[in-house]
Structure 1
Protein backbone atom coordinates (compact mmCIF):
# COMPACT_ATOMS: atom_id res chain seq x y z
CA UNK A 1 0.00 0.00 0.00
CA UNK A 2 1.27 3.46 -0.84
CA UNK A 3 0.26 6.80 0.66
CA UNK A 4 -0.92 9.72 -1.40
CA UNK A 5 -0.77 13.15 0.22
CA UNK A 6 -3.24 15.94 -0.35
CA UNK A 7 -3.10 19.53 0.88
CA UNK A 8 -6.12 20.91 2.71
CA UNK A 9 -6.61 24.47 4.01
CA UNK A 10 -5.09 23.55 7.38
CA UNK A 11 -2.86 20.52 6.97
CA UNK A 12 -1.48 17.87 4.68
CA UNK A 13 -3.43 14.63 4.92
CA UNK A 14 -2.52 11.20 3.65
CA UNK A 15 -4.78 8.59 2.10
CA UNK A 16 -3.83 5.02 1.24
CA UNK A 17 -4.08 3.51 -2.24
CA UNK A 18 -2.94 0.27 -3.82
CA UNK A 19 -1.25 1.94 -6.81
CA UNK A 20 2.42 1.02 -7.10
CA UNK A 21 4.91 3.89 -7.17
CA UNK A 22 6.13 2.62 -10.56
CA UNK A 23 2.67 3.32 -12.01
CA UNK A 24 2.68 6.88 -10.71
CA UNK A 25 6.18 7.55 -12.04
CA UNK A 26 5.36 6.04 -15.41
CA UNK A 27 2.27 8.14 -15.88
CA UNK A 28 3.93 11.29 -14.62
CA UNK A 29 6.41 11.16 -17.47
CA UNK A 30 4.70 9.32 -20.31
CA UNK A 31 1.29 9.05 -21.91
CA UNK A 32 1.32 6.82 -24.97
CA UNK A 33 -2.41 6.40 -25.54
CA UNK A 34 -2.22 8.59 -28.64
CA UNK A 35 0.10 6.04 -30.28
CA UNK A 36 -2.75 3.53 -30.54
CA UNK A 37 -5.58 5.76 -31.71
CA UNK A 38 -6.23 6.35 -35.37
CA UNK A 39 -6.44 9.88 -36.76
CA UNK A 40 -9.97 11.03 -35.96
CA UNK A 41 -12.21 13.63 -37.52
CA UNK A 42 -13.25 16.60 -35.35
CA UNK A 43 -16.63 14.94 -34.71
CA UNK A 44 -14.93 11.81 -33.38
CA UNK A 45 -12.24 13.61 -31.39
CA UNK A 46 -14.55 14.71 -28.54
CA UNK A 47 -15.53 11.06 -27.87
CA UNK A 48 -11.90 9.91 -28.10
CA UNK A 49 -10.82 12.61 -25.64
CA UNK A 50 -12.98 10.94 -22.97
CA UNK A 51 -11.38 7.54 -23.50
CA UNK A 52 -8.14 6.50 -21.92
CA UNK A 53 -5.32 4.05 -21.78
CA UNK A 54 -5.65 0.84 -19.76
CA UNK A 55 -2.61 -0.22 -17.75
CA UNK A 56 -1.52 -3.27 -15.76
CA UNK A 57 -2.63 -2.87 -12.13
CA UNK A 58 0.56 -4.56 -10.90
CA UNK A 59 3.31 -2.67 -12.74
CA UNK A 60 1.73 0.14 -14.80
CA UNK A 61 2.64 -1.23 -18.22
CA UNK A 62 0.45 0.00 -21.08
CA UNK A 63 -1.96 -2.76 -22.08
CA UNK A 64 -4.77 -1.39 -24.26
CA UNK A 65 -6.61 1.72 -25.39
CA UNK A 66 -10.27 2.03 -24.40
CA UNK A 67 -10.93 3.47 -27.88
CA UNK A 68 -10.81 -0.10 -29.22
CA UNK A 69 -13.09 -1.81 -26.68
CA UNK A 70 -15.76 -3.74 -28.57
CA UNK A 71 -18.48 -6.29 -27.92
CA UNK A 72 -18.18 -10.07 -28.19
CA UNK A 73 -21.15 -11.44 -26.30
CA UNK A 74 -20.53 -14.77 -24.65
CA UNK A 75 -23.47 -17.15 -24.19
CA UNK A 76 -21.72 -18.19 -20.96
CA UNK A 77 -21.97 -14.72 -19.37
CA UNK A 78 -23.79 -14.82 -16.03
CA UNK A 79 -24.10 -11.03 -15.96
CA UNK A 80 -24.03 -8.67 -18.89
CA UNK A 81 -23.96 -4.88 -18.34
CA UNK A 82 -23.65 -1.93 -20.68
CA UNK A 83 -21.72 0.70 -18.70
CA UNK A 84 -19.29 3.60 -18.94
CA UNK A 85 -15.82 2.28 -18.20
CA UNK A 86 -12.30 3.56 -18.90
CA UNK A 87 -13.79 6.81 -20.17
CA UNK A 88 -15.86 5.07 -22.84
CA UNK A 89 -19.63 4.92 -22.95
CA UNK A 90 -21.43 1.75 -24.00
CA UNK A 91 -18.81 -0.72 -22.79
CA UNK A 92 -20.15 -4.25 -22.54
CA UNK A 93 -18.95 -5.74 -19.27
CA UNK A 94 -19.48 -9.49 -18.90
CA UNK A 95 -19.10 -11.71 -15.87
CA UNK A 96 -17.85 -15.17 -16.82
CA UNK A 97 -17.12 -18.18 -14.62
CA UNK A 98 -14.36 -20.66 -15.40
CA UNK A 99 -14.75 -24.45 -14.92
CA UNK A 100 -13.41 -24.30 -11.35
CA UNK A 101 -15.87 -21.59 -10.31
CA UNK A 102 -13.78 -18.40 -10.42
CA UNK A 103 -15.64 -15.31 -11.67
CA UNK A 104 -14.05 -12.78 -14.00
CA UNK A 105 -15.36 -9.37 -15.11
CA UNK A 106 -14.08 -8.89 -18.65
CA UNK A 107 -14.13 -6.46 -21.57
CA UNK A 108 -13.11 -7.28 -25.13
CA UNK A 109 -10.70 -5.53 -27.46
CA UNK A 110 -9.09 -6.52 -30.78
CA UNK A 111 -5.83 -4.79 -29.84
CA UNK A 112 -3.77 -5.20 -26.68
CA UNK A 113 -0.15 -5.44 -25.65
CA UNK A 114 -0.46 -8.44 -23.38
CA UNK A 115 1.46 -11.56 -24.33
CA UNK A 116 -0.15 -14.88 -25.18
CA UNK A 117 1.29 -17.86 -23.32
CA UNK A 118 0.77 -21.58 -23.71
CA UNK A 119 -1.03 -23.53 -26.39
CA UNK A 120 -4.43 -22.78 -27.88
CA UNK A 121 -7.15 -24.60 -25.96
CA UNK A 122 -10.43 -25.32 -27.79
CA UNK A 123 -12.12 -26.90 -24.73
CA UNK A 124 -14.04 -24.89 -22.11
CA UNK A 125 -14.20 -21.77 -24.27
CA UNK A 126 -16.62 -19.03 -23.26
CA UNK A 127 -16.99 -18.25 -26.97
CA UNK A 128 -18.21 -21.20 -29.10
CA UNK A 129 -15.99 -21.79 -32.12
CA UNK A 130 -13.01 -20.07 -30.49
CA UNK A 131 -9.88 -21.46 -28.86
CA UNK A 132 -8.17 -19.53 -26.09
CA UNK A 133 -4.79 -19.01 -24.44
CA UNK A 134 -3.71 -17.03 -21.41
CA UNK A 135 -2.65 -13.42 -21.83
CA UNK A 136 -0.12 -11.90 -19.41
CA UNK A 137 1.53 -8.53 -18.87
CA UNK A 138 4.71 -8.40 -20.98
CA UNK A 139 6.54 -6.66 -18.12
CA UNK A 140 5.52 -8.47 -14.90
CA UNK A 141 3.66 -11.58 -16.20
CA UNK A 142 0.46 -10.82 -14.26
CA UNK A 143 -2.51 -12.70 -15.74
CA UNK A 144 -4.50 -10.01 -17.58
CA UNK A 145 -6.96 -12.17 -19.50
CA UNK A 146 -7.14 -14.37 -22.56
CA UNK A 147 -6.73 -14.27 -26.30
CA UNK A 148 -9.56 -15.84 -28.31
CA UNK A 149 -9.06 -17.02 -31.88
CA UNK A 150 -11.37 -18.98 -34.22
CA UNK A 151 -10.44 -22.66 -33.85
CA UNK A 152 -9.61 -22.97 -37.57
CA UNK A 153 -6.92 -20.28 -37.35
CA UNK A 154 -5.66 -21.01 -33.81
CA UNK A 155 -2.40 -22.56 -34.96
CA UNK A 156 0.79 -23.08 -32.97
CA UNK A 157 2.57 -20.33 -34.93
CA UNK A 158 -0.10 -17.69 -34.13
CA UNK A 159 0.91 -15.58 -31.13
CA UNK A 160 -1.67 -12.79 -31.53
CA UNK A 161 -5.30 -12.85 -32.63
CA UNK A 162 -6.22 -12.48 -36.28
CA UNK A 163 -8.74 -9.86 -37.39
CA UNK A 164 -11.45 -12.33 -36.29
CA UNK A 165 -9.89 -12.93 -32.87
CA UNK A 166 -9.85 -10.70 -29.79
CA UNK A 167 -8.60 -10.21 -26.25
CA UNK A 168 -10.74 -10.63 -23.12
CA UNK A 169 -9.20 -8.36 -20.47
CA UNK A 170 -9.90 -8.93 -16.75
CA UNK A 171 -11.17 -5.59 -15.45
CA UNK A 172 -9.95 -6.24 -11.89
CA UNK A 173 -6.36 -6.70 -13.12
CA UNK A 174 -6.06 -3.37 -14.91
CA UNK A 175 -6.46 0.32 -14.10
CA UNK A 176 -7.31 3.38 -16.13
CA UNK A 177 -4.54 5.86 -16.79
CA UNK A 178 -6.72 8.76 -15.63
CA UNK A 179 -7.53 7.09 -12.32
CA UNK A 180 -3.84 6.68 -11.55
CA UNK A 181 -3.10 10.25 -12.63
CA UNK A 182 -5.84 11.50 -10.29
CA UNK A 183 -4.06 9.77 -7.38
CA UNK A 184 -0.69 11.34 -8.11
CA UNK A 185 0.54 14.29 -6.08
CA UNK A 186 2.55 17.19 -7.34
CA UNK A 187 5.67 17.92 -5.22
CA UNK A 188 4.29 21.48 -4.80
CA UNK A 189 1.32 20.10 -2.82
CA UNK A 190 3.55 18.30 -0.33
CA UNK A 191 5.56 21.43 0.61
CA UNK A 192 3.94 23.78 3.10
Structure 2
Protein backbone atom coordinates (compact mmCIF):
# COMPACT_ATOMS: atom_id res chain seq x y z
CA UNK A 1 0.00 0.00 0.00
CA UNK A 2 1.19 3.53 -0.68
CA UNK A 3 -0.24 7.02 -0.56
CA UNK A 4 -0.54 9.53 -3.37
CA UNK A 5 -0.69 13.07 -2.05
CA UNK A 6 -1.75 16.01 -4.17
CA UNK A 7 0.24 19.17 -3.62
CA UNK A 8 -1.88 21.00 -6.25
CA UNK A 9 0.77 23.12 -7.85
CA UNK A 10 2.98 22.08 -4.96
CA UNK A 11 0.92 24.14 -2.57
CA UNK A 12 -1.21 21.81 -0.44
CA UNK A 13 1.74 20.44 1.50
CA UNK A 14 4.62 22.47 2.82
CA UNK A 15 7.97 21.57 4.42
CA UNK A 16 7.86 21.87 8.20
CA UNK A 17 11.30 23.51 8.29
CA UNK A 18 11.73 26.31 5.81
CA UNK A 19 12.57 29.96 5.43
CA UNK A 20 15.53 32.07 6.38
CA UNK A 21 15.32 31.29 10.12
CA UNK A 22 16.18 27.60 9.68
CA UNK A 23 19.84 26.67 9.79
CA UNK A 24 21.45 24.95 6.79
CA UNK A 25 21.65 21.74 8.84
CA UNK A 26 17.90 21.85 9.54
CA UNK A 27 17.02 22.58 5.89
CA UNK A 28 19.03 19.62 4.62
CA UNK A 29 17.75 17.26 7.31
CA UNK A 30 16.59 13.90 5.89
CA UNK A 31 13.45 13.98 8.01
CA UNK A 32 11.68 17.11 6.80
CA UNK A 33 7.96 16.91 7.27
CA UNK A 34 5.10 17.70 4.93
CA UNK A 35 2.18 19.41 6.60
CA UNK A 36 -1.49 19.80 5.77
CA UNK A 37 -1.63 23.35 4.49
CA UNK A 38 -5.04 23.92 6.06
CA UNK A 39 -4.29 22.92 9.65
CA UNK A 40 -0.57 22.10 9.97
CA UNK A 41 -1.04 18.40 10.77
CA UNK A 42 2.15 16.37 10.13
CA UNK A 43 1.09 14.25 7.15
CA UNK A 44 4.30 12.69 5.82
CA UNK A 45 8.06 12.52 6.30
CA UNK A 46 10.40 13.14 3.37
CA UNK A 47 12.11 9.80 4.11
CA UNK A 48 8.87 8.09 3.09
CA UNK A 49 8.82 9.45 -0.46
CA UNK A 50 8.60 6.47 -2.81
CA UNK A 51 8.38 6.97 -6.54
CA UNK A 52 5.77 4.67 -8.07
CA UNK A 53 5.73 5.12 -11.84
CA UNK A 54 2.46 4.79 -13.72
CA UNK A 55 2.02 4.27 -17.45
CA UNK A 56 -1.20 6.30 -17.11
CA UNK A 57 0.60 9.50 -16.09
CA UNK A 58 0.12 12.27 -18.64
CA UNK A 59 3.53 13.71 -17.76
CA UNK A 60 6.36 13.34 -15.27
CA UNK A 61 9.02 15.76 -14.09
CA UNK A 62 11.48 16.22 -11.27
CA UNK A 63 10.89 19.19 -8.99
CA UNK A 64 12.40 20.64 -5.84
CA UNK A 65 9.70 20.09 -3.27
CA UNK A 66 11.47 19.27 -0.03
CA UNK A 67 14.56 21.40 0.48
CA UNK A 68 17.06 20.80 -2.32
CA UNK A 69 15.78 17.31 -3.09
CA UNK A 70 14.63 16.54 -6.63
CA UNK A 71 11.32 14.73 -6.35
CA UNK A 72 9.43 12.97 -9.18
CA UNK A 73 6.02 14.59 -9.73
CA UNK A 74 3.46 12.91 -12.01
CA UNK A 75 0.46 14.51 -13.71
CA UNK A 76 -2.84 12.59 -13.88
CA UNK A 77 -6.34 13.35 -15.12
CA UNK A 78 -9.54 11.97 -13.60
CA UNK A 79 -12.64 10.97 -15.62
CA UNK A 80 -14.14 14.45 -15.08
CA UNK A 81 -11.13 16.06 -16.76
CA UNK A 82 -9.54 17.50 -13.60
CA UNK A 83 -5.75 17.26 -13.54
CA UNK A 84 -3.64 16.54 -10.47
CA UNK A 85 0.10 16.72 -9.85
CA UNK A 86 0.99 14.01 -7.34
CA UNK A 87 3.79 12.79 -5.08
CA UNK A 88 3.89 9.16 -3.93
CA UNK A 89 4.78 8.05 -0.39
CA UNK A 90 5.19 4.58 1.11
CA UNK A 91 3.26 5.84 4.14
CA UNK A 92 1.43 8.94 5.27
CA UNK A 93 -0.73 9.87 8.25
CA UNK A 94 -4.03 10.18 6.42
CA UNK A 95 -7.59 8.97 6.98
CA UNK A 96 -8.66 6.45 4.32
CA UNK A 97 -12.31 6.35 3.24
CA UNK A 98 -13.34 2.73 2.62
CA UNK A 99 -14.45 0.79 0.65
CA UNK A 100 -11.73 0.92 -1.96
CA UNK A 101 -12.65 1.65 -5.58
CA UNK A 102 -11.23 -0.43 -8.45
CA UNK A 103 -12.45 1.65 -11.41
CA UNK A 104 -10.46 4.58 -12.78
CA UNK A 105 -7.24 3.68 -10.95
CA UNK A 106 -4.13 5.58 -12.04
CA UNK A 107 -2.12 2.51 -11.03
CA UNK A 108 -3.41 -0.58 -12.90
CA UNK A 109 -4.00 -3.56 -10.63
CA UNK A 110 -4.50 -1.37 -7.57
CA UNK A 111 -7.67 -0.10 -5.92
CA UNK A 112 -7.86 3.33 -4.30
CA UNK A 113 -9.53 5.23 -1.49
CA UNK A 114 -9.80 8.95 -0.83
CA UNK A 115 -7.21 10.17 1.71
CA UNK A 116 -8.02 13.13 3.95
CA UNK A 117 -6.28 14.96 6.77
CA UNK A 118 -7.13 13.23 10.08
CA UNK A 119 -7.44 16.61 11.83
CA UNK A 120 -9.30 18.96 9.44
CA UNK A 121 -10.65 16.37 6.96
CA UNK A 122 -9.44 18.24 3.86
CA UNK A 123 -8.79 16.08 0.81
CA UNK A 124 -5.04 15.42 0.46
CA UNK A 125 -4.96 12.64 -2.13
CA UNK A 126 -5.56 8.91 -2.41
CA UNK A 127 -4.31 5.66 -0.93
CA UNK A 128 -3.60 2.74 -3.30
CA UNK A 129 -3.40 -0.96 -2.49
CA UNK A 130 -3.16 -4.17 -4.57
- On whether the aligned pair clears a TM of 0.5, the verdict is yes
Alignment gaps of 5+ in structure 1? 1-25, 28-44, 151-192
Q: Which residue of 1 aligns with 2:85?
A: 105
Paired residue total: 108
The ranges of structure 1 where at least 4 consecutive aligned residues each deviate by more than 4 angstroms after the TM superposition are 45-48
Check conservation: 1:96, 1:103, Cα contact below 8 A. Answer: yes
Corresponding residue number in structure 1 for 2:72? 92
Q: Which residue of 2 aligns with 1:72?
A: 52
Instruction: Choose from 73, 77, 100 the match for 1:120.
Output: 100
CA contact (8 A) 1:134 1:146 kept: yes
Secondary structure in structure 1 of the residue aligned to 2:29? helix
More strand per residue: 2
Deviations 1:55-96 (A, max 9, x none): 001111110011211110111111200222112523110111
Structure 2 distance, partners of 1:84, 1:136, is: 24
Where relative contact order (Cα < 8 A, 6+ residues apart) is larger, the structure is 2
Query: Which segments of 5 or more consecutive residues in structure 2 lack a partner in the other structure?
Result: 1-15, 18-24
CA contact (8 A) 1:84 1:90 kept: yes
User: How big is the alpha-carbon RMSD for the aligned residues of Structure 1 and Structure 2?
Assistant: 2.4
Match of 1:140 in 2: 120
With structure 1 as the length reference, what TM-score do the two structures score? 0.52
The structure whose Rg is larger is 1
Deviation at 1:104, TM superposition (A): 0.7
Q: Where is the helix percentage greater, Structure 1 or Structure 2?
A: 1
Does the aligned pair in 1 maintain the 2:49–2:88 contact within 8 Å?
Answer: yes
- Match for residue 184 of structure 1? none
Aligned residue for 2:21?
Answer: none
TM-score of the superposition, structure 2-length normalised? 0.75
In the TM superposition, what is the alpha-carbon distance from 1:50 to its structure 2 partner? 5.5
